[in-house]
Structure 1
Amino acid sequence: MCGDGANDCGALKAADVGISLSQAEASVVSPFTSSMASIECVPMVIREGRCSLDTSFSVFKYMALYSLTQFISVLILYTINTNLGDVQFLAIDLVITTTVAVLMSRTGPALVLGRARPPGALLSVPVMSSLLLQVALVAGVQLGGYFLAVAQPWFVPLNKTVPAPDNLPNYENTVVFSLSSFQYLILAAAVSKGAPFRRPLYTNVPFLAALALLGSILVGLLLVPGLLQGPLALRDITDTCFKLLLLGLVAFNFVGAFMLESALDQCLPGCLRWLRPKRASKKRFKQLERELAEQPWPPPTRPGR
């Protein structure tokens, strides 16, 4: 609803989105006020609103995936009577997750208003499908890295009679922590896709810089002997081929996460439309529109009148 905030105050307040085209005192009843007395601002408000909604969904998905990723790591380590160290938890929660969660929401709205609309509910098929498939990929990569480490000839299992965190550092913890740390960055980038509601990922320079910096540090932790391994309670892995194999798993996770999101965006809506035909809208104006489309308009005049 667009108005000047004078005699249409009630309509501006009752509308889903009210835009006042006047800067007078009466315009305060409207959620939005345009600096120009023109409706040119309507597409911009819609683009900003869709961007905000899509960003909120992305942050929710990331926080859910972050929690489930850490849960999988802890579950794997609990089965062998160990756990992540206190400094490792701090590095994940404070350094990695907080940084990317704050910066990932700085991506601006798309420059062009598209026809598609963002999801209207969190508990929807696209959102839940993305969560479940990403969690399955995360679990598969972590388990794959763990079993690859166990199969190495230099692998020495931890002493299960010693409870955590006294049995740190060990190879199992080092592999799971290294892989999961990369996964937090991969998931943040995967759920921050741009089109059709936001600008491309590369336009968010602070977020991209944070991903590059944190990713470089994690690569250094894996390849450079002695780099922060003492404070983080990580065991040094001398097998360079195995380190490169872990980076290969990270690359596979990276490609798989983006392919999953792209496949869901492109294929899932069509499948849902085929499996579940579109139902008639319950909104009153839609019902009136259908009734008018089914009847001749204007109504034919009767003879003699």
Structure 2
Amino acid sequence: MNDEQDVQTISAQKLREFINTHSESEYDLIDVRQPSEYEISHIPGAKLLPLKEFVEHLGDIHPDRENIFYCSVGGRSMAAAVMAAESGAFRKGVYTLDGGIAAWNGKSLPDRPPLRLFESSRTLREALLTALELEKGSWLFYTELLKAPPKRFSCSSIQELADIKKSNARILHDTFKAVSSEEETEHMAPFEELFESLGGNIMASGDDPTPLLAWAKDNYEDCEQLINLAVELEYRAYDLYRNMAFDAKNAEEEQAFLELSKREKSLLMRIAGEMDKAMAEVGRAA
């Protein structure tokens, strides 16, 4: 039985409506940023629980309340919400504030091309092809960042993320072969050839990721936005693999997708940690 909650996003407007129509005993608003960020500005009534201390204090969060997490622009709170939801300890909703406190304060964020929704398909082969496109698109994003790395995000970290994306794609390719017939396998391209041929279709428009890569290039100086996008990509991959594991037809398939979802969650937490570290450095420099 799956005891995990699904992470839900909530807009700043909806959060205001929620706060105005619910008593304080019905929900907890949790700020997962650094103390220095919290001191500068926070949503009234929010409790501070920095991301780096989150796992240690997860048991301190009330399990019978709606729990709403937020950070600066949404990346770190998504990581926190995933950890909370996956723990299975919460009986009410688990939310992340879309756009973070920036959206709450009415700050206009860079207009980013929308990402594709990655839902598990009706057939395993279709889902695997979708996942391969996602991994290729993420790999293209990270390799593009390597050309001009954003401040406070090391080249070695970006290169490792790109390498893991390609490694995930290789696992998917092996799984694809394992679930294909002998005749289908004979006509399947080798991994490197297949990976090269993929367009990296991660856009809501159904197109290749060129618009997203152009957006990233225009926003190289905005470390928060780029890391937030990386978190969103990893969350979508994590969610897709978790759903594929639920839909698996045998234990071997389930284990393969659970392992991939575990890898994606680890990446998500790592990227969010990079963001947390970067903001801590900003706080010390202030």
Alignment TM-score, normalising by the size of structure 1: 0.25
If each structure's strand is expressed as a fraction of its own residues, which one has the higher value?
2
Task: Indicate the structure (1 or 2) with the bigger Cα radius of gyration.
Answer: 1
Alignment TM-score, normalising by the size of structure 2: 0.26
